[in-house]
Amino acid sequence: MAQKRDGADAVLAKIAELPAFQDVATRLHEVITGANPDLVPRLGYGMPGYAKAKSKPVLVLFRVDDTERVTLGVTEHATHWREDGADHQLMPSAWFLTGLDAPTEARVADIVRRATT
């Protein structure tokens, strides 16, 4: 449990340093950890990331590159899926957002659950 707390502290410290969207990032952290409480927060690629264990690869991450948007992504180590009814071979791995509302939070939670199972 100490590893999980240390990782969460590092993630929250990183969120506090972000150039913008600290409120969105804080809520994203809550939604991600709420969607799969077993995930271990830690920094991945220098940004908030979430893995099944401290020694395991990051599966879900988000980043703030500028003041325009937040990127939510799943890494190559996550479970990937084709969109329901898709007639192509593309699988989603990143989404842009500028805010969170109830439908967006529900979609993020669904993405996290699907990517981490």
- Cβ neighbors of 15 (< 8 A, separation 6 or more) are 22, 25, 26, 29, 48
60: amino acid identity, one letter: V
Q: Would the pLDDT of 19 be above 60?
A: yes
Which residue shows structure tokens 């192509």?
A: 88
pLDDT digits (tens, 9 = 90+) for 27-65: 999 999 999 999 999 998 899 999 999 999 999 999 998
pLDDT given for residue 34 in this prediction: 97
Domains parsed from the chain with CATH numbers? 2-115 (3.90.1150)
Give the strand pairing for 47-51 and 40-44. Answer: antiparallel
pLDDT given for residue 45 in this prediction: 84
Confidence band (pLDDT; 50, 70, 90) for 83?
confident
